[in-house]
Amino acid sequence: MPADPHSRRPAVGEGPLTRLALIGLAILFLAAFLALPLVAVFSQALAKGVGAFLKSLTDPDALSAIRLTLTVAAIAVPLNLVFGVAASWAIAKFNFRGKSLLLALIDLPFSVSPVISGLVYVLLFGLHGSFGPWLRDHGVQIIFAVPGVVMATVFVTFPFVARELIPLMQEQGVEDEEAAIVLGASGWQTFRLVTLPNIRWGLLYGVLLCNARAMGEFGAVSVVSGHIRGKTNTMPLHVEILYNEYNFVAAFAVASLLALLALVTLAAKAALEWRFADQIAAAKR
């Protein structure tokens, strides 16, 4: 980040009192809306001591929710990673008709309510869905089962990697790849040896955001999961169930794990932005 050009220009800066008031206002606002919820999560989780906290986390249902969340992310993130790389290769390295339409369509899941993201799959594969009877006859269950949870998660995390890679690869242009091809490299060699090293940090950045959303998704997953304890409950859903049962310590204990994940994501994101700012598109978009 360049040095602030305004700090040493009394002619155009604000007075010290205004500065102080604005900084105070910003900090107060962020403290109320960002810091306080985090403090609330951890203090409620530990309200009855470390023992109760740990007991809630080692509960079989909690463990199974953690396992399912990890499994779902392990399927959804790689799928969207492959899609993100393919989409950004097609969009950033070639010029074709209808590109902006394709870009708008890739963004579509961002503007769809999470609840609708789940509903669309219920209407397709649920018992009353268009393929429901056929699936039932063939003994396949998608809705109220793990495949539905994976599908809904893939839907909501769909644009993350692509949205990060497309502007980055557009910025980098095609000269490097063209040189490699002209020198006789195959397409795969070009991608692996020329493109990939250029986009790796942006790729990691996209995967990070995609993963955070995949593990934390609530609305879409809640519609398709059926909330079967020990089977189709992800961590965010388990938080809801425990909370609605007034089991606050356990709810906040599981929530604190998710909050920890969010904090780790933010730290890694910030580290990437500071260290590799020029190799990440999102940082200075």
Partner 1 sequence: MTAAASTTATKPARRGWAFLAPTILPGFGTAFGFTLAYLCLIVLIPLGHMALRAADVGWDRFWAITLAPRVLHAFYISFGCALAAALINAVFGLVVAWVLVRYRFPGRRLIDAMVDLPFALPTSVAGIALTAIYAPNGWIGALAKAAGFKIAFTPLGIVIALVFVGMPFIVRTVEPVLQDLDAEVEEAAASLGATRWQTFTKVLLPAILPALITGVALAFARGVGEYGSVIFIAGNIPAVSEIVPLLIVARLEQYDYAGATVIATAMMGVSFLMLLGINFLQRWTRSRHAR
Query: Which residue in the set 66, 77, 122, 199 belongs to the binding site for partner 1 (CB under 8 A)?
Result: 122
32 lines the binding site for partner 1 (CB under 8 A):
yes
Q: Is 140 in the site for partner 1 (CB under 8 A)?
A: no
Amino acid, single-letter form, for residue 31: A
Q: Which of 70, 74, 267, 277 binds partner 1 (CB under 8 A)?
A: 267
Does 191 contact partner 1 by CB under 8 A?
A: yes
Residues in binding contact with partner 1, number by CB under 8 A: 111
Residue number with CB closer to partner 1 (116 or 196): 116
Q: Report the b/e string of 222-233 with b at 16+ CB within 10 A.
A: bbbbbeeeeebb
Residues between 145 and 164 with contacts to partner 1, criterion CB under 8 A: 151, 154-155, 158
What is the distance between the alpha carbons of residues 280 and 212, in angstroms, rounded to a whole number? 18
Three state DSSP letters for 104-116: HHHHHHHHCCHHH
Degrees, nearest 5: CA angle 263-269-273: 145
Contact range with partner 1 by CB under 8 A, out of 48-56, 60-68, 187-195, 198-206: 187-195
- Residues 50-109 within binding reach of partner 1 (CB under 8 A): 82-83, 86-87, 89-91, 93-97, 102, 104-109
Backbone phi, then psi, for 144, in 5-degree steps?
60, 30
Residues for the chain: how many in total?
285
Distance from C-alpha of 239 to C-alpha of 254, rounded to nearest angstrom: 6
- Binding of residue 6 to partner 1 (CB under 8 A): yes
Which CB, 50 or 182, lies closer to partner 1? Answer: 182
x/- map, 196-235, partner 1, by CB under 8 A: -------------x--x--xxxxx--xx-----------x
For partner 1, which stretch binds (CB under 8 A), given 8-16, 50-58, 134-142, 197-205?
Answer: 8-16
**238 with 65: CB under 8 angstroms?**
yes
Please give the single-letter amino acid code of residue 280. I
To 10 degrees, what angle do helices 114-125 and 146-157 make?
140
User: Maximum distance among all alpha carbons in the chain?
Assistant: 77
- What span, in angstroms and rounded, lies between the C-alpha atoms of 201 and 274? 12
Query: Is residue 38 a contact residue for partner 1 (CB under 8 A)?
Result: yes
Query: Quick one: which of 50, 137, 183, 285 contacts partner 1 (CB under 8 A)?
Result: 285
* 184 near partner 1, judged by CB under 8 A: no
Interaction with partner 1 in 98-117: which residues (CB under 8 A)?
102, 104-109, 111-116
